[in-house]
């Protein structure tokens, strides 16, 4: 089957001496992986390999065969040319971290247009914004809506939130009940627009605590989720 689709690069791994294995989330068929043979062998190949930076938005043409784990890529073009995502230290750290998260949570080999467009639009905003310190927190909180375990906000005026049940509660009922700053930031992050990130005032300690809470929420609702490998480096950047 011939496939032409928009894609977002989630990961790339060097294979043997000159090959790359690239995993992409596509608009048309969901998650798909490619084996790029010899792409690191020549100067021209290295130029092509540069298309596959983490979370790059590309347009791909591919030859897709059922029951094949690694597909064949026929052509690739840059779909969105970022200005800042791969050049500014803070933003490139966010990109590395979010790519790790997305590689873990995006497992479906089927189309999910709303999810794809959420990621696509979010990355475009991150590339343009000057308020990026809390971007990843809002992104992760709102991503839960597209993954199927968004907090039930019908009682968001209650003073506790149960991470395990995903419900707001009137009192603490388990070890996973939160309140205080984390509750305040959860409510804010679920309703805020990326354009209004400047309104989200947090200290580095509050930011770290809220991130750890969000990652625990993901662990509780996604059986395969683990803390990203890039978390330690990422946390140092924000400390």
DSSP 153: G
The span from the CA of 167 to the CA of 171, in Å, is: 11
Give the end of a domain, one of 81, 115, 132: 81
What total number of domains does the chain contain? 2
Same domain flag for 55 and 100: no
Which domain does 213 fall in, by range? 83-239
Q: What is the pLDDT along the chain (239 residues), one digit of tens a residue?
A: 899 999 999 999 998 888 999 999 999 999 999 999 888 886 655 557 789 999 999 999 998 988 889 999 999 999 999 999 999 999 999 999 999 999 999 988 889 999 999 999 999 999 999 999 999 999 999 999 999 999 999 999 999 999 999 999 999 999 999 999 999 999 999 999 998 998 899 999 999 999 999 999 999 999 899 989 889 888 888 76
Whichever domain contains 122, its CATH number is 1.20.1440.120
Same domain flag for 124 and 203: yes
Same domain flag for 74 and 92: no
Give the end of a domain, one of 21, 50, 81: 81
For 190, the 3-state DSSP assignment is helix
Q: Which residues of 152-171 are buried (b: 16+ CB within 10 A; e: fewer)?
A: eeeeeeeebbbbeebbbbee
Same domain flag for 69 and 116: no
31-35 long-range contacts, Cβ below 8 Å, gap at least 24?
Answer: 31/106, 31/107, 31/108, 31/109, 32/7, 32/62, 32/64, 32/71, 32/109, 33/69, 33/70, 33/71, 34/62, 34/70, 34/71, 34/72, 34/73, 35/70, 35/71, 35/72
CA-based nearest residue to 136, from 82, 83, 80, 85:
85
**What is residue 104's predicted lDDT score, i.e. its pLDDT?**
95
Give the end of a domain, one of 81, 105, 125: 81
Same domain flag for 101 and 202: yes
**What is residue 45's predicted lDDT score, i.e. its pLDDT?**
53
User: 177 - beta bridge partners?
Assistant: 162
The span from the CA of 173 to the CA of 161, in Å, is: 9
Whichever domain contains 70, its CATH number is 2.40.50.140
User: How far, CA to CA in Å, does 165 sit from each of 19, 51, 150, 185, 218?
Assistant: 44, 41, 10, 18, 12
């Amino acid at each position: 089957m011939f496939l032409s689709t928009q894609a977002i690069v989630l990961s790339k791994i060097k294979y043997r001496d000159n090959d790359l294995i690239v995993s992409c989330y596509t608009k048309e068929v969901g998650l798909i992986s490619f084996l790029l043979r010899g792409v690191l062998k020549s100067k021209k190949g290295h130029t092509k390999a540069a298309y596959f930076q983490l979370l790059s938005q590309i347009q791909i043409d591919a030859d897709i065969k059922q029951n094949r784990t690694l597909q064949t890529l026929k052509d690739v073009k840059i779909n969105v040319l970022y200005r800042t995502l791969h050049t500014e230290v803070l933003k490139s750290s966010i990109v590395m971290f979010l790519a790790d998260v997305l590689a873990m949570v995006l497992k479906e080999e089927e189309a999910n247009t709303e999810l794809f467009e959420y990621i696509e639009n979010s990355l475009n905003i991150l590339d343009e914004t000057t308020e990026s310190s809390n971007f990843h927190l809002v992104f992760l909180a709102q991503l839960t809506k597209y993954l199927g375990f968004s907090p039930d906000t019908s009682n968001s005026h209650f003073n506790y939130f149960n991470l395990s049940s995903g419900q707001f509660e009137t009192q603490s009922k388990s070890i996973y009940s939160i309140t205080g700053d984390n509750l305040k930031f959860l409510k804010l992050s679920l309703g805020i627009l990326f354009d209004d990130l400047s309104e989200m005032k947090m200290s580095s300690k509050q930011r770290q605590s809220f991130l750890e809470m969000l990652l625990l929420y993901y662990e509780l609702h996604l059986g395969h989720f683990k803390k990203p490998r890039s978390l330690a480096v990422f946390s140092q950047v924000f400390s």
